[in-house]
Amino acid sequence: MTTLTLTVNGKSVTQACEPQTLLVEFIRDTLRLTGTHVGCDTSQCGACTVHLDGRAVKSCNMLAVQAAGKQLTTIEGLTPGDGSLHPMQEAFRACHGLQCGFCTPGMVMSAVDLVKHHGCHSDEQVREALEGNICRCTGYQNIVRAVRQGAEAMKA
């Protein structure tokens, strides 16, 4: 076992884990933060997207020990803590940018990363940024609209 210390959603966490534990397994099974989903186990679908040191990463594609000493934000950590939704989450709700909801946490995390690091200037840019996130319900038009609306709300 390895002892891993990192900051998760603003709180310091120290937990033991096997060296081969994937970050997504650590998040879901050890920390019990189940908003991060396991979709494909091959980094193809993006359901496991989280922010590590402020950048979107697919947590099924890295070991938990690689996150040692870093800042990890999961979908649960996006909310302000007062019970309200993050502007991007609210936009997904308002624009019906989700259907079954399985891909939604990863989509939201990727969308927030896009807006923070590149801005949101066109539907084409949003579609390109979300290429690594698969929605099997074909809700992309509403997702693109949600990201654009969420980007505007994040500016405010």
Domain ranges of the chain: 2-76, 87-155
Using alpha carbons, list the distances in angstroms from residue 25 to 17, 18, 60, 76, 125.
10, 11, 8, 16, 31
User: Where are the strands (E) in the chain, listed by range?
Assistant: 2-8, 11-17, 49-52, 55-58, 71-73
Fold classification of 2-76 (topology level): Ubiquitin-like (UB roll) (3.10.20)
Tell me, yes or no, if the pTM score tops 0.95. no
Helix 140-155 vs helix 104-118: angle between axes, to the nearest 10 degrees?
A: 50
Which band of pLDDT confidence, cut at 50, 70 and 90, is reported for residue 98? confident
What is the average pLDDT score of the chain? Answer: 94
Residue 83: per-residue pLDDT: 86
Average pLDDT over residues 137-148: 90
Residue 119: per-residue pLDDT: 92
Average pLDDT over residues 46-60: 96
Distance CA 115, CA 120 (A): 5
Residue 21: per-residue pLDDT: 97
Percent of the chain with pLDDT over 70: 99
| Residue 44 three-state SS | coil
Q: Which residues contact 148 (CB under 8 A, 6 or more apart)?
A: 120, 123, 126
Class of 87-155 per CATH? mainly alpha
On the question of pLDDT at 118 being above 80, the answer is yes
Residue 114: per-residue pLDDT: 96
Residue 137: per-residue pLDDT: 86
What's the number of CA atoms in the CB half-sphere (13 Å) around residue 116? Answer: 13
